Amino acid sequence: MNIDYKKLAQKYQTPYYVYDFDHITNQYNELKEAFKARKSILAYAVKANSNLSVIKHLASLGAGADCVSIGEVKRALKVGITPYKIIFSGVGKTDDEIRQALELGILMINVESAAELNRVDSIAQELDKVARISIRVNPNIDPKTHPYISTGLHENKFGVDIDTAKRMYIQCKNSNHLEPVGIHCHIGSQLTQLEPILEAVEIVATLVKNLQAIKIELSFFDVGGGLGIVYDNETLIDTKEYAQGILKTLFGLDVTIICEPGRFLVGNSGVFVTKVLYEKTNGNKRFIIVDGAMNDLIRPSLYNAYHKIEVLNDETEKSLCHLVGPVCESGDFFGKNIELPLTQHNDLVAIYSAGAYGFTMASNYNTRGKVAEIALEGGEDRLIRRRESFEDIIALEEEFIK
Distance CA(402)–CA(386), nearest Å, equals 30
Would you give the binding string for ligand PLP spanning residues 222-261, x where CB under 6 A is met? --xxxx--------------------------------xx
Site for ligand PLP in 172-191 (CB under 6 A): 186, 189
Contact between 325 and ligand PLP by CB under 6 A: the answer reads: no
Amino acid at 372: A
Shortest CB 81 distance to ligand PLP, Å:
15
- Asked if 47 interacts with ligand PLP (CB under 6 A), we say yes
Helix (H) or strand (E) run with residue 171 in it: helix 162-174
The neighbouring-strand residues paired with 42 are 259
Site string for ligand PLP, 345-384 (x = CB under 6 A): -----------x----------------------------
Q: Closest distance between ligand PLP and the C-beta of residue 262, in Å?
A: 3
* Residue number, 148 or 278, with CB nearest to ligand PLP: 148
- CB of 25 vs ligand PLP, minimal distance in Å: 17
172 is catalytic: no
Among 28, 221, 264, 272, binds ligand PLP (CB under 6 A): 264
| Residue least distant from ligand PLP (Cβ) | 262
Choices 44-52, 57-65, 243-251, 295-303; region in contact with ligand PLP by CB under 6 A: 44-52
- The DSSP bridge partners found for residue 40 are 257
15 binds ligand PLP (CB under 6 A): no
**Rounded alpha-carbon distances, angstroms, from residue 365 to 235, 263, 355, 359, 369:** 35, 25, 21, 13, 9
Asked whether the beta carbons of 23 and 2 are under 8 A apart, the reply is: no
Q: Which stretch binds ligand PLP (CB under 6 A): 13-21, 219-227, 324-332, 335-343?
A: 219-227
Angle, alpha carbons 378-15-4 (nearest 5°):
35
272 close to 297: Cβ distance less than 8 angstroms: yes
CB of 274 to ligand PLP, least distance (A): 23
Q: From CA 379, how far away is CA 154, in angstroms rounded?
A: 46
Give a three-class secondary structure readout of 98-131. Answer: HHHHHHHCCCEEEECCHHHHHHHHHHHHHHCCCE
262 scored as a contact of ligand PLP (CB under 6 A): yes
Residue type, 335: G
Among 45, 76, 257, 293, binds ligand PLP (CB under 6 A): 45
Task: Compare residues 50 and 189 and give the one whose CB is closer to ligand PLP.
Answer: 189
196 binds ligand PLP (CB under 6 A): no
Looking at the DSSP bridge assignments, the partners of residue 188 are 150
Q: Is 323 in the site for ligand PLP (CB under 6 A)?
A: no
CA atoms within 13 A on the CB side of 389: 3
User: What are the start-end ranges of the H helices in 214-340?
Assistant: 239-249, 263-266, 299-303
Which amino acid, 117? Answer: L
Could you give the residue ranges of the DSSP H alpha helices within 15-69? 21-34, 52-61
Taking CB under 6 A as the criterion, which residues in 81-140 touch ligand PLP? 89
Residues that bind ligand PLP (CB under 6 A): 45, 47-48, 66, 68, 89, 186, 189, 224-227, 260-264, 356
Which are the catalytic amino acids? 328
